[in-house]
Amino acid sequence: MTRDEEIWAMALWVEKHHGSDGWLFIAQKQDRLFAEGEFDGVKLWQDVGSKFEKLQKKPKQCS
């Protein structure tokens, strides 16, 4: 699995477990990591947020 695929998987996990409130979860992760000085972690969750945004913009399919 590539790093990009891992980030997509994280974004999908956030969507599955937090739905449209995933932004709050992602922001809280970033805030905590920033406060701890974990700037690589902040960047990771920024990337997850970018993928999450794309997931939220995709058209929903009807069954």
User: Does 30 reside within a domain?
Assistant: yes
pLDDT for 63 equals 56
pLDDT in tens, 11-53: 999 999 999 999 999 999 999 999 999 999 999 999 999 999 9
Q: Which domain holds residue 28?
A: 3-56
Q: How many domains are contained in the chain?
A: 1
User: Does 21 reside within a domain?
Assistant: yes
- pTM score of the predicted model: 0.88
- With cut-offs at 50, 70 and 90, classify the pLDDT of residue 55: very high
pLDDT for 59 equals 72
Helix axes 3-18, 22-35, angle to 10 degrees: 120
pLDDT for 21 equals 95
CA distances to 20, 23, 50, 52 from 57, in Å: 11, 13, 11, 9
Closest of 22, 21, 17 to residue 51, by C-alpha: 22
Q: Average pLDDT of 57-63?
A: 69
